[in-house]
Every structure is written in structure tokens, then in C-alpha cells.
Chains A and B, each alone.
Chain A
Amino acid sequence: EVQLVQSGAEVKKPGESLKISCKGSGYSFTSYWIGWVRQMPGKGLEWMGIIYPGDSDTRYSPSFQGQVTISADKSISTAYLQWSSLKASDTAMYYCARPLHPSAGGAFDIWGQGTMVTVSS
């Protein structure tokens, strides 16, 4: 079964760092891009960026460039989303997703279960 399994919910203070993960299984992890999507409480979906684990080619949305870092470790089939200094406005659900076809854009047919990040003093 093709699936993406994300790390658990996090509660952090402003200024702290954080790295959340997304582990792929059931398919060739290095052959498909992995994207990250933010959903703030009660709001819509925002595409943050995407990485190709095969060579770590990474593209960011201008809205998130410089705010987060997307990375991947192909040896353990895991993609990451990290912050160096969290803000209260980073409070959101974060999803990783894999496209239907091995292309940079495309339709995301496989989604992780989501990681809730809460940033509060």
C-alpha cells in the first residue's frame, strides 16, 4: 500500500525550532516529488513547496521561501519540513502529499495524515 506517514503533533514556544517528517512507503520514494501544504485553523489549503528526493531539487512558494526549509533523506524515505524560529502564525496543520504522476506539479493523490503544529507562549 502506498502511504505517507507523518510525525505527531507538536506544541512549541515562539522562537523555538522544529522539524517534522513524512515517511513514504509502498513506492519508489526517489521517483516522485513530495509537496508540503499548510492549512491554518479554519482556513484553506496553501502550497508551500516541493522536493524531489532523488536529487533534492527543491522549489518553494514565494510566500514560504526563507520561512521554512524542505529537505529529504532518501536513505530512509523521509521528507522534512523545518523551521528555525517559530512564530505564533505558524500554528497550522501541515500535510505532505505525493503527486499522481512523477512530475513537479500534478494532482496529489496520496496525502499524509497531517501534523498539527501549535506555537504558543
Chain B
Amino acid sequence: DIQMTQSPSSLSASVGDRVTITCQASQDISNYLNWYQQKPGKAPKLLIYDASNLETGVPSRFSGSGSGTDFTFTISSLQPEDIATYYCQQYDNLPITFGPGTKVDIK
């Protein structure tokens, strides 16, 4: 199985701050990497697919980059509604695997 790691595991930032989360795969996954947002009590929501493509309807303050084994997810200006846990997910090989998540809250 491909192992996914994320850092940090949690972070606290102020409204308007730039927030960056990194995700690393245990082997080359090309750009087969997606990012999800999950709010408490809700199903995950797809934000970024194929490493850098913004899902329809997702605000442009969210972005993603990277390829191979190292990926970055960025919120350019943190908003109160962005409080959530963020997961990366690879689909280069089955089984599909998720990162452990990064919990984001407001300072």
C-alpha cells in the first residue's frame, strides 16, 4: 500500500493568514492526488483533484501543487468557514489511501 503522510497534524492561524499543508507519498504517485475538506458531522468535500485542479464551485483561495511524492495544499487567505480537517488522498494504486488529516482552526 502507498502510505500518505501529512504535516502538520494541526494548526491554528488567524483570519486572513496564508495556510500551507504538505502531503508526502511513500512512492511516486505522479499527480494522482486529491484534497478534501471535512467539517464536523459532515461528509468530506472534494476541493482539489489531480494535484492542482480546483473542483467546480470551490473558492479560488484554495490551491494545490506538486507531483511525484511531494504535494502542497494552500489556503491563500484563511476564512472562518475554512475551519475543518483536510485530507490528501492518492489514487495511483489500489488500495486508495488517505493521509491522516490536518485539523485547521482559528487562532
Contacts and interface: CB of A to CB of B under 8 A. Distances in A.
Interface stretch (A58-66, A70-78, A80-88): A58-66
Contact of B55 (A50, A63, A109): A109
Interface in A86-118: 95, 97, 100, 104-109, 111-114
Interface residues of B, number: 24
A24 interface: no
A114 B94 contact: no
B57 to A, nearest CB: 10
B46 interface: yes
A107 B92 contact: no
**Main SS of the interface on chain B?**
loop
A35 interface: yes
A47 B95 contact: yes
Contact of B101 (A44, A62, A114): A44
Given A108-B44, A109-B55, A114-B43, A47 B98 contact: yes
Nearest to B43: A111
A63 B3 CA distance: 14
Contacts of A44: 87, 98-101
Contacts of A113: 43
A113 B42 CA distance: 7
Interface of A: 35, 37, 44-47, 50, 59-63, 95, 97, 100, 104-109, 111-114
Given A60-B95, A107-B34, 10 more contacts: A37-B44, A45-B38, A46-B98, A47-B95, A50-B94, A61-B94, A105-B96, A108-B34, A108-B36, A109-B55
Interface of B: 1, 32, 34, 36, 38, 43-46, 49-50, 55, 87, 89, 91-92, 94-101
